[in-house]
Amino acid sequence: MHELAIAESIMDIALKAKVDKHLDSIRAVGVRIGVMTDIVPEALEFGFDIIVKDTALDGCCLKIERIPVRGTCRSCRKFIEVEDFVFICPHCASRDLEITQGQELDIAFIEIDDDEDTPVRGMDSNGEENTG
């Protein structure tokens, strides 16, 4: 169950970003996970939900984007997208493929709860209007 260790490192990065960037509240953390990794997204989400409880990230959820296997065929130089782990070029049937995507494990974005840190204070403005 190494998803728990990964969830912990995602939490650490998000907590550090929260402190460094003075974020009030983080609503979600987006992660990109390549389909060639052996990470089970559901297990990662589940582990993350558990470990963020009672931390500064309580209530924060994980948004997982799965990255398909993509690359270039070394024979015909065409862009390819591998489906069902069949590593054969659909254009020329070569097996000589250069895989460039599908092994990601990155944090893509951190979504902050900005409703909370921008309180509405329209009532005590000086009432000037631009009637043009």
Binding site for Zn ion (CB under 5 A): 73, 75-76, 89, 91-92, 94
Smallest separation (angstroms) from Zn ion to the CB of 94: 4
CB nearer to Zn ion: give 44 or 73: 73
CA 65 to chain CA centroid, Å, is 6
Q: List residues bridging with 70 in a β-sheet.
A: 81, 101
CB nearer to Zn ion: give 37 or 75: 75
Smallest separation (angstroms) from Zn ion to the CB of 70: 14
CB nearer to Zn ion: give 44 or 89: 89
CB nearer to Zn ion: give 87 or 109: 87
Smallest separation (angstroms) from Zn ion to the CB of 72: 9
Smallest separation (angstroms) from Zn ion to the CB of 101: 17
CA distances in angstroms from 85 to 33, 35, 81, 95, listed in the order given: 16, 9, 10, 12
Report d(CA 127, CA 24) in Å as an integer: 30
Report d(CA 130, CA 38) in Å as an integer: 59
Residue among 108, 78, 105, 110 nearest 93 (CA): 78
